[in-house]
Amino acid sequence: MSLPQLVDRAAAVAAVLAELDVHRNERVLIMLPDEPGFDESFAGAVHQDAVPLPVSPRLRAHDLAAAAVAAGAHVVLVSPDQLPALTELDAGPAILINGPDGPWVAALRLR
């Protein structure tokens, strides 16, 4: 990925975080594997002045909820294919962020 592509995707993540009312120093969990999508999400959280907190993409929904409570996070960024496994979370509807090949990250506001 080129630097301009990273900047564009990070800006897309930051825009969604702003839409979800993420403020300066608010924690954002990033539940993505170390592959394309992670860097853009991390950079997008930093761009929004949030604190990116990576967590294992293998967490189950109840463990993710516990991690969010412990961290004081109200937003999680996940891969769209992880959404079916997270249906038991008390969260608002997912906001999908599209890239050239379709949705590559989903943002969830936890309640």
| Exposure letters 48-72 (e unless 16+ CB within 10 A, then b) | bebbbbebebebeeeebbebbeeee
Contacts of residue 86, Cβ cutoff 8 Å, sequence gap at least 6: 61, 64, 78, 108
pLDDT along the chain (111 residues), means of 10: 88 94 96 89 96 96 94 95 92 87 87 85
pLDDT of residue 18: 95
pLDDT of residue 3: 86
